[in-house]
Homo-oligomer: A and B are copies of this chain.
Amino acid sequence: MRRKRLDRMQCSIARALDVVGDPWTLLIVRDALLGVTRFEAFQARLQIPRATLTARLAHLVDAGILERRSYQDHPPREEYVPTAKGRGLRPVIVTLMQWGDEFARDDPPPTHLEDASTGLKIEPTLVDRVSGAPLTALRVRAVGPLVPRRG
């Protein structure tokens, strides 16, 4: 059967997962955000089957997450670079990395983030932009049509 479409659900998470909900897509985006642009480079780094990579890149371009550009005419060569929509996935990838570090670890974590100016290690935390309080410290409640009523 064809994979079910999630993009019509009244839910931002479902619509996001309709684009990003497979094992490879976010890994490709991660590499793209690290500066990888070429087909062969993605393939070599991820060991992804070439046919799958072709399909994923096409979907990512179609979804407006990567942009396909020719960087050479003879021979014709293409590169894939993140758009603003693609760069917007960085927080998703960062939090996913944090979760993997904490709960699926292979200590020590293989990759970390640092400030390119100061060299200091960065510890990403999710806070409320207004109060500055970490979300873990707040009693957070979801509000909307698909929040189940209590009981």
Contact surface of A with B, Cβ cutoff 8 Å: 3-4, 6-7, 10-24, 26-27, 30-31, 34-36, 41, 45, 47-49, 64, 85, 88-106, 109-117, 120, 122-132, 135, 138-148, 150
Contact = CB atoms under 8 A, between A and B. Distances in A.
Contacts of A19: 104
B143 A115 contact: no
A104 B36 contact: no
Nearest to A92: B95
B110 A146 contact: yes
Count of identical protomers in the assembly: 2
A48 to B, nearest CB: 8
B98 A91 contact: yes
Given A10-B110, A21-B23, A95-B95, A116 B129 contact: no
A38 to B, nearest CB: 11
Given A13-B100, A27-B13, A35-B148, A141 B113 contact: yes
Given A110-B145, A135-B91, A139-B116, A100 B23 contact: no
A134 to B, nearest CB: 8
